[in-house]
Structure formats: C-alpha cells, structure tokens
Amino acid sequence: MIVNEAAVRAVGVTKRYGAGQTQVDALVDLSADFGKGRFTAIMGPSGSGKSTLLHCLAGLDQPTSGQVFVGDVELSHLPEKQLTHLRRDRIGFVFQAFNLVPTLTAFENITLPLDLAGRTPDRDWLRTVIDTIGLTDRLKHKPSELSGGQQQRVACARALASRPDVVFADEPTGNLDSQSSADVLGFLHRSVREFGQTVVMVTHDPSAASYADRVLFLADGRLRSELLDPTAETVLDTMKSLDPAVAG
Ligand SMILES: Nc1ncnc2c1ncn2[C@@H]1O[C@H](COP(=O)(O)OP(=O)(O)OP(=O)(O)O)[C@@H](O)[C@H]1O
C-alpha cells in the first residue's frame, strides 16, 4: 500500500472573508497533505477555521490564495462544471444533519447520487458497504423510521457508494448519542482499514478523533499541532495545551 501519496493536498491556503474592519483571515498560509487510505481528524477551537478548511479541500469554497489538489487535479483552475463533476464523482460528504431525502427509502438514498449521475452502481461494492453499515433489514425504511445513528450510517453509505477518492465528514457525530457515534465512527474506521478509503473529518470530540490515524489541530486559521495514533487522552492533552479555555 502506498501510504505517503496524498489524496488531497492544501498548499499555502489562505481564506479571507470581508474587507477592512470586518476582514477575517479564516485560514492563513495553511499547507497539509491528507494521505490515501488514511483517516485524518481536524480539531481546534470554535472559529479556528476547521469548516472553512474542509470546504476549501472539498471544492465547496475557493481559497483567496494558495492551491488545493484532489489527486493531481488543482481545483482553482477547474471550470465550475468540471468542479461539480469532480465533487460528484470523486468526493463523498457526510454532514452533521444527515441530509437524507425523507420520501426515499434508505436504499434509494444510498444510490441517489449514482442515479443522479446516471452511473450503474458497482453491485459488489454496494453490497459490501451495505453489509458493513449493518442495516440490511432496514433498507426499505424511510429516514423517519430510522434512529439518528441509523440515518447517519445511511448517509455514510451514500458517501461511499461511488467509491470516492475521499470522504469529507463535518461533525458527523455532532447530533448522536455515544453508542450511535461509536457505530458511525466504527464504520468510517472500517472503510479506511478494510477498503482503503480516505476520510477527513472535522470534530470537537476527542473520542471521535481517537478513531483517526492522525489529528491536525488548528488555531486562528493556522496549523498548530499534529498527533499520530491519537487516543482520547492525548487529544485532550493537546487541546488543553493549545486552548486555555479547554484547560479551564
Ligand atoms: N461566510 C463567512 N463570512 C465571514 N466570515 C466567515 C464566514 N465563514 C466563516 N467565517 C469566519 O471565519 C472564521 C473561521 O470559521 P469556521 O467556521 O471555519 O471555524 P470552525 O473552526 O469551523 O468553527 P466551529 O467549530 O464553531 O464550527 C471565523 O472567525 C468565522 O466567523
């Protein structure tokens, strides 16, 4: 397995909002590689730039300066139509609010992005993903008939259905109890370990971050620290050293 090859790369990314008195530098000259087949968590205090970074990496927002690469494609040079195709074909998204379509069944939600793209699902892959989320008996149910944790696992399966180059997850366990969080994180972890998927996840929760291979810590739009093979304890210790508010 090639461990060091980057699925996504930020090079000198700055993101500035507003101007003059209201100017905010949400990201400042930030560079980071996100290795293929790796699970990376992004942490940092509120307002440190986590969501902005995720949106820039996913081509949902444009850096003010600097470059973002998905594989070897540089996003800022892509016309909007190609960017839309790249997001659709090569990137999966999981959001805090599960964002499932209420009128469709779980199975239909999972295959919706492929259907919209006019792509034939890879049956074996779809079966693997569905078996791994452990909801085989709930596939004909609508989202309102599923628990929050089950809905988020459906959202994860939807993100993986196209076998994307990278899955971006923005606070995927923010609305879940601890057991449901463990189910969702366990699934993301398995998708990396067993299927070689790449996951980049923003979280506030040290135990969620401990499922990752690596944690990046942001503060004031800058990369401040990095932890490999994190545990909830080492993540919390690093957070305390970076943010006096956490240290209490
Ligand atoms: N559209 C916008 N216009 C102006 N300022 C913005 C915009 N989006 C974000 N910001 C500012 O950029 C900074 C970084 O915001 P961002 O949402 O990336 O932080 P975050 O670390 O994800 O925060 P949280 O943990 O609270 O979600 C903040 O100061 C925020 O107020």
**What number does the ligand 1 atom closest to the CA of 202 have?**
22
Q: Model's pTM, two decimal places?
A: 0.93
Cβ 50 under 6 angstroms from ligand 1: yes
Q: How far apart are CA 129 and CA 134, in angstroms?
A: 9
62-74 confidence digits (pLDDT tens): 999 999 999 989 9
- Residue 27, classed as helix, strand or coil, is strand
Reported as a pLDDT band with limits 50, 70 and 90, residue 3 is: very low
CA 48 to chain centre: 17
Count Cβ neighbours within 10 Å for each residue of 120-143 and write b for 16 or more, e otherwise: ebeeeebeebbebbebeebbebbb
Tokens representing residue 160 in the block: 């993986």
pLDDT at 56: 96
Q: Is 49 in the pocket of ligand 1 (CB under 6 A)?
A: yes
CA of 120 to the centre of ligand 1 (A): 38
User: Which token pair is 51?
Assistant: 């969501």
- What are 172-225's pLDDT values in tens digits? 999 888 998 998 899 899 999 998 999 999 999 999 999 999 999 999 999 999
ipTM: 0.97
Atom 25 of ligand 1: nearest residue by CA position: 46
Q: What's the pLDDT band for 248 if we cut at 50, 70, 90?
A: low
**What is the mean predicted confidence (pLDDT) over 236-244?**
87
Across the range 21-33, mean pLDDT stands at 95
Residue 62 Cβ < 6 Å to ligand 1:
no
Q: Is 17 in the pocket of ligand 1 (CB under 6 A)?
A: yes
Q: 6-247 has which fold? A: Rossmann fold (3.40.50)
Residue ranges covered by each domain of the chain: 6-247
Q: How far apart are CA 134 and CA 171, in angstroms?
A: 21
Residue 135 has pLDDT above 90, yes or no: no
Task: For residue 198, give the nearest of 33, 15, 29, 23 by alpha carbon.
Answer: 33
